[in-house]
Amino acid sequence: MSFKRKLLSAATSALAVVAFTTFASAQDTTNNTENDSTQKQEMRERRGGRGFGMRGGKGMRGGRHGGDKMMLRALGQLNLSDAQREQIRGIAETYKTSTQTQREDLRSLGMKKRDGIITADEQARFKEIRTQLKTSGEQMHNSVLAVLTAEQRAQLEQMKEEMKKRKMERRQNRQNQTAPQTEVN
């Protein structure tokens, strides 16, 4: 074989290897994308169907926007006695166990609603469960407040007002940041 043929053969082989590698990696990328979406779906299911930025999350908290959790966190800042801590822990545990099946049902119905496959009966059940959970949450809230002294309730109310104030400030800051900036000539 002449030198030209050997060189041409080597160049053709190298080009074939590069082309084959390109096609193989393109298929792997597609396969990875499918695997990524499958993994994301599995993660979403493990989290109970809540994805980042989903507005449906409000319904999972009974419309209270996480108020019960914030209240329990705020209780940690109060000077609670050991007996009060135990009572509140018992109230929270009772609430959690008594509403567990409702929360699971709400989560599965919420996933159906998000996916657009919820029936009218399921939609009605979804609203009913949310109402029940809201009522249960209010009862838990009132039970916890009954454990506190008048001074602790006043302190808790003050913390709540401060949280509202900070929330309004954050909202104002966000609105100011997203407002269109007009230039003055």
Q: What is the pLDDT of residue 181?
A: 61
CB atoms within 10 A of CB 75: 19
21-75 per-position pLDDT tens digit = 776 666 654 445 455 656 666 666 666 544 444 334 444 444 444 555 666 677 8
Do the domain assignments include residue 137? Answer: yes
CB atoms within 10 A of CB 91: 19
Confirm if 89 and 147 have CB atoms less than 8 A apart.
Answer: no
Do the domain assignments include residue 17? Answer: no
Structure tokens belonging to residue 65 = 């926007």
134-172 per-position pLDDT tens digit = 999 999 999 999 999 999 999 999 998 999 999 999 999
94-123 per-position pLDDT tens digit = 999 999 999 999 999 999 999 999 999 999
65: CB partners within 8 A, 6+ apart: 58
Do the domain assignments include residue 63? Answer: yes
Do the domain assignments include residue 44? Answer: no
Q: Where are the alpha helices (DSSP H) in the chain?
A: 3-46, 57-60, 67-75, 82-98, 100-115, 120-147, 150-178
Do the domain assignments include residue 48? Answer: no
Structure tokens belonging to residue 119 = 């029936």
In whole angstroms, give the CA distance from residue 90 to residue 100: 15
Do the domain assignments include residue 7? Answer: no
Confirm if 102 and 78 have CB atoms less than 8 A apart.
Answer: no
Domain count, the chain: 1
Do the domain assignments include residue 178? Answer: no
In whole angstroms, give the CA distance from residue 68 to residue 92: 10
Q: Which domain holds residue 136?
A: 57-169
Q: What is the pTM of this model?
A: 0.55
Do the domain assignments include residue 111? Answer: yes
